[in-house]
Amino acid sequence: MRVALTAAALCVGGAGTLGLTSGADSASADVASLKQKAGTKTAKAVKRKLLRDRTPGLAKHDLQIKVPSCKQRTKRGRLAGFRCRWNVKGELPGLVPVRCNGQARVNARAKKAKPGRCKNKAELQAPLQRQPADILFGYFEDFSSIPDLFGYVGAGGGTVIREDIDWRLLQPTPGGDPSTWDWSSFDAVYGQAVAAGLRPVFTFHNAPCWAVPAPCAPNAPNPVAPDFVDEYAHAAAQIALRYPSSLAIEIWLEPNSARFWGAPADPAAFAALVGAAADAIHATGTGVGVYSGGLAPGSAAADKIEFGAFLSQALDAGGVQRADAIGFHAVTETPFTPGDQPTKGYLGRLRIQLQTMNTALADHQTSKPIVLTQLSYSSAPGFYTEAQQAEALASSYELVRRIADVPVVIVSRLFDNGGGSKVQGFGVLRSDRAPKPAYCELAAARGVAKPPGC
């Protein structure tokens, strides 16, 4: 461990302030020596304080601890001790960047230093574990309307798919025996996925007009009216019963965004929906998991609640705690920088996003896995090149394997239709289905030597 302990700018104050005679050169020298010792003692005390929490991490910790000044404290004209300022820059265990400063009180003999709290001014990043974990991996796509994509998932090392189930299509009219609902397109996706050895995650969203607050926009997302939360939960349970080999049902899509919630984001309403659906799905006994809907990343906006704040408010309301995992859509929107430094650029931003969610959970005494139901970097014009997209996706996958309790990563999307928009550039297969570099590099990261076309 390399720790720089620097006591700088320890200027000797006037001897008269200590009640010493002006000619007492030896006394003045003693004070200067004590000041220097106070600085050294402060640096060592800060080091011990920072490293007391032995989070399992990587390699060595690199901390630079500096003590730029120590001021004398006097009482009745005599030396009572020192107040030393300190600052820290470096990395904590788990390669967590730290940058903080504070003060320490040192006794008159400079034998004991008591540093204050180190409040990290750097955005906190999720710590990295020493060994990578085995995680589930797959792709999101509209498999019901784009045929014959399942083979590409498995050939690229995937074992999971994500597909939407639109409640408006499944149950366009209220009530009715579930066997009479329109399962046709979803049955096809489930059957083909299972036959290909893949486990689906179904994202269940978009309320039909009979279950939404008035007025209803028939062709746009709509939230569930409070009086119909039980009907949504019942329908979610029917999905689990019909598709028992599914990995999970995801409750809604980016509920912190008005664009996908269908109204101003409402953490309490979303929490009630998750809680009711989780209870109903768990009661089926199928073992199908429940994911709270993947939160939209990014800062707060007029039509969006910042994801960490939204999660905190939903946890306050209760209900989200009954899900098996918390969903998140990892789109960092960070400019590409070459290399895979795990504390900087898009990798650092991804760790900040995950730690933001972990902090919200910890603040509510809740421990839940975080599942990335979307991991995306676009190769559309103006974003990343295809080579950069490949490096970013593969590096992010490897990074996530070193973060605790992130058991599932689903890349969005599998297919790139060449339309030129940011979202249309998320795909790892081109419009002619030829693999982009990202498909091949993710396959290699999954242990597939060379899938067809790579």
Residue 1 pLDDT level (bands cut at 50, 70, 90):
very low
99, containing H or E segment: strand 96-107
In a domain, residue 127? The reply is no
Predicted confidence (pLDDT) at residue 143 exceeds the cutoff of 50: yes
pLDDT of residue 326: 98
| Percent residues over pLDDT 90 in the chain | 80
- Do 144 and 111 reside in the same domain of the chain? no
- Do 275 and 195 reside in the same domain of the chain? yes
Task: Of 58-67, 70-79, 290-299, give the lowest mean pLDDT range.
Answer: 58-67
- Do 142 and 189 reside in the same domain of the chain? yes
In a domain, residue 123? The reply is no
- Do 208 and 107 reside in the same domain of the chain? no
- Do 56 and 140 reside in the same domain of the chain? no
Q: What is the per-residue DSSP string for 14-46?
A: PGGGGT--TT-HHHHHHHHHHHHHHHHHHHHHH
The residue type of 237 is: A
List Cα–Cα distances, 230 to 180, 237, 368, in angstroms. 19, 10, 24
In a domain, residue 453? The reply is no
Per-residue pLDDT reduced to its tens digit, 200-241: 999 999 999 999 998 998 889 999 999 999 999 999 999 999
Residue at token pair 């070193």: 402
Stronger pLDDT, 255 or 55, i.e. the higher one: 255
The answer to whether 232 and 212 are in contact (CB under 8 A) is no
Per-residue pLDDT reduced to its tens digit, 377-417: 999 999 999 999 999 999 999 999 999 999 999 999 999 97
| Whole-number average pLDDT of the chain | 91
Cβ neighbors of 422 (< 8 A, separation 6 or more) are 378, 380, 383
- Do 48 and 178 reside in the same domain of the chain? no
* Calpha distance 86→67 (Å, rounded): 4
pLDDT of residue 27: 59
pLDDT of residue 338: 87
- The β-bridge partners of 239 are none
Q: In this structure, what are the phi and psi dihedrals at residue 334, rounded to the nearest 5 degrees?
A: -105, 135
* Calpha distance 34→18 (Å, rounded): 13
Residue 449 pLDDT level (bands cut at 50, 70, 90):
confident
Handedness of CA 341, 362, 254, 161 (dihedral sign): positive
In a domain, residue 60? The reply is yes
pLDDT of residue 51: 77
Residue 29 pLDDT level (bands cut at 50, 70, 90):
confident
In a domain, residue 29? The reply is yes
List the Cα angle 175/327/322 in 5-degree steps: 60
- Do 191 and 324 reside in the same domain of the chain? yes
- CATH classification of the domain holding 373: 3.20.20.80
The residue type of 224 is: V
pLDDT of residue 18: 37
pLDDT of residue 119: 82
- Do 297 and 256 reside in the same domain of the chain? yes
Q: Which of 80, 115, 150 is the last residue of a domain?
A: 115
Residue 25 pLDDT level (bands cut at 50, 70, 90):
low
Q: Which of 115, 150, 166 is the last residue of a domain?
A: 115
Domains in the chain, number = 2
In a domain, residue 223? The reply is yes
* Calpha distance 397→137 (Å, rounded): 9
* Calpha distance 404→94 (Å, rounded): 11
Per-state percent for the chain, helix, strand, coil, to nearest 5? 35, 25, 40
In a domain, residue 294? The reply is yes
Return the structure tokens found at 332: 């960092």
Cβ neighbors of 208 (< 8 A, separation 6 or more) are 167, 168, 171, 172, 173, 174
Predicted confidence (pLDDT) at residue 44 exceeds the cutoff of 90: yes
Residue 13 pLDDT level (bands cut at 50, 70, 90):
very low
Parallel/antiparallel/unpaired status of strands 113-115 and 96-107? antiparallel
The residue type of 372 is: L
pLDDT of residue 61: 61
Q: Which residues span the domain enclosing 212?
A: 136-445
* Calpha distance 289→266 (Å, rounded): 23
pLDDT of residue 118: 84
Helical residues (DSSP H) of 299-435, grouped into ranges: 307-317, 345-363, 386-400
pLDDT of residue 23: 42
CB burial of residue 292 (10 Å; 0-12, 13-18, 19+): buried
- Do 110 and 142 reside in the same domain of the chain? no
pLDDT of residue 420: 79
- Do 150 and 11 reside in the same domain of the chain? no
Per-residue pLDDT reduced to its tens digit, 75-99: 988 999 999 999 999 888 888 998 9
Return the structure tokens found at 174: 């209220």
- Do 143 and 110 reside in the same domain of the chain? no
pLDDT of residue 55: 41
Stronger pLDDT, 8 or 334, i.e. the higher one: 334
The answer to whether 38 and 106 are in contact (CB under 8 A) is yes
In a domain, residue 130? The reply is no
pTM across the whole model:
0.87
Residue at token pair 């928009």: 421
- Do 148 and 12 reside in the same domain of the chain? no
Task: Of 119-128, 206-215, 308-317, give the lowest mean pLDDT range.
Answer: 119-128
| Residue of 167, 134, 174, 172 whose CA lies nearest to 239 | 167
* Calpha distance 350→328 (Å, rounded): 11
Predicted confidence (pLDDT) at residue 360 exceeds the cutoff of 70: yes
Predicted confidence (pLDDT) at residue 129 exceeds the cutoff of 70: yes
Predicted confidence (pLDDT) at residue 147 exceeds the cutoff of 90: no
pLDDT of residue 58: 40
